[in-house]
Amino acid sequence: MVRSLLVRDYLLLGLRLQRLVPGIVDTYTGDVALRRHAASGPSPDPAELLRTARRLSVELPEAGLDPDRQRFLAAQLTAVECAARRLAGHDVGFVEEVDACYGVRIAPGDPERYREVHRELDELLPGAAPLAERLDAFRRREAVAPGRLGAAVQAVAEALRERTQAWIALPVDEAVTFELVGDRPWSGLNRHLGGFRSHVMINTDAALRAIQLVQLVAHETYPGHHTQRCLARVASVRAPERGMFLIGTPQCLISEGAADLGLLALAGPGWGSWAAAVLAEVGVHTDGELGERVEDALAELARVRQDAALLLHDRPGSAEAALAHLCRWLLIPEGRARQLLRFLVHPLWRSYTTTYVEGVALLRPWLNRPGPGPRARYRRLLDDPLVPATIRGELTSAEAEVRQVERRPPPGWPSGRHRDDRRYSLRGER
């Protein structure tokens, strides 16, 4: 009884927060009566929401939940508390906000690493013109023509669904619809419609490259967000908190990192050639191998966007510095950089770039460490309520195990005091 009341109060807290921050509840598949209750009455008081979040955090250890659910709710409540603090007028620094919301501590990236990526791109796209011009020419050459965009999206989604269905048992009545839109601060967005249905919007102004389009569709659908929402809805029968997806929480960092890595888990290295074959069937021709290598390199520059967020919000008044930073290191024209700034200054999305940057940085080594393999671990991301601290803990344990194995003496190596390398070597020489 205690556990059900605490989870109910958590859901009610999120739904009431939605009234003050429209869009913060990305998905809710729970009790309709609870949603109506949250929507009724006067506008919520941020200070009261803050007190509720703190009360639930205190009560959580005694609620009788299993450890995974408890860790999940503890991390979510920390993020909700931060949102309520900001709404109540408390001064919350940007780095502190990101730490509370996503469970990661951020810092500026390393310009030397950016230079290394530029050198890699220089080799992938040879020529006499400046690298930014060559990359711009590549982007324009690889952009999917507007007239073929709809067909390309459908073909990719069907091919991805077929592969995902062979790996993960999707609900029989799941479905995704698509819409091409313009003038948005993002490239693509998934909206859950209830049941096992999603509506995905693709921003035509993003001038998506062919291989980039494949990544985006995988991210939003199979095995990305649509698949995540379907399995979360199944899980919400026994864990109702899984039926609410809150923007600006650790749940987002795990979700976005998993969605970005889903295509690699699904199709493996070399997925670019497979993607090119799928696109060719609808008249979109691309060098899949080169496209994959370029996208991999550009992904290493993702931290540049987080740098820009730090310049904007951790050092107020640095909008022009953020713009210049994006242009220089992402090798993009000013118009595209200003489009990225729209996302970084949006009240709801201002810190969200961290979910992509730190989500991938955290999950990639976790997926690739020795053991069951990336696909088995990816299923855990879909099935279990994991949080960043859990992932970090497992990575630390794995690293400790590796160090322990490396310290073990080889067969025949003496034990005890004779394991001193120098003494053993001298005895051997004598």
pLDDT: which is higher, 427 or 7: 7
Q: How far apart are CA 98 and CA 350, in angstroms?
A: 10
pLDDT of residue 221: 98
**In this predicted structure, what is the pLDDT of residue 398?**
74
d(CA 327, CA 320): 11
Q: What is d(CA 320, CA 341) in angstroms, rounded to the nearest whole number?
A: 10
Cα-based distances in Å from 41 to 19, 23, 36, 49? 11, 19, 10, 14
Look at residue 429 and tell me whether its pLDDT is greater than 70.
no
Phi/psi of residue 386, nearest 5 degrees: -80, 150
Q: Give, in order, the Cα–Cα distances in Å from 426 to each of 418, 420, 421, 423, 430.
A: 11, 10, 9, 5, 6
Q: H or E element: which one contains 188?
A: strand 188-194
In percent, the amount of the chain with pLDDT more than 70 equals 92
Residue 89: CB atoms within 10 Å? 8
Domain parsing of the chain, residue ranges:
2-92, 111-385, 387-430
Query: CB–CB of 202/224 below 8 Å?
Result: no
- For 30-45, b/e burial (b = at least 16 CB within 10 A) is beeebbeebeeeeebe
- The mean pLDDT of 397-404, rounded to a whole number, is 70
Over residues 337-361, the mean pLDDT reads 94
> In terms of Cα–Cα distance, which of 332, 287, 265, 317 is closest to 118?
332
Residue 428 has pLDDT above 50, yes or no: no
CB count within 10 Å of CB 194 equals: 10
pLDDT value at residue 416: 44
Mean pLDDT across the chain, nearest whole number? 91
pLDDT tens-digit readout, 94-140: 999 999 999 999 999 999 999 999 999 999 999 999 999 999 999 99
Supply the pTM of this predicted model: 0.90
Q: How confident is the model at residue 195 (pLDDT cuts 50, 70, 90)?
A: confident
Mean pLDDT over 295-305 rounds to: 97
- pLDDT tens figures, 59-88: 999 999 999 999 999 999 999 999 999 999
Q: Mean per-residue pLDDT for 88-94?
A: 95
As beta bridge partners, residue 194 has 197
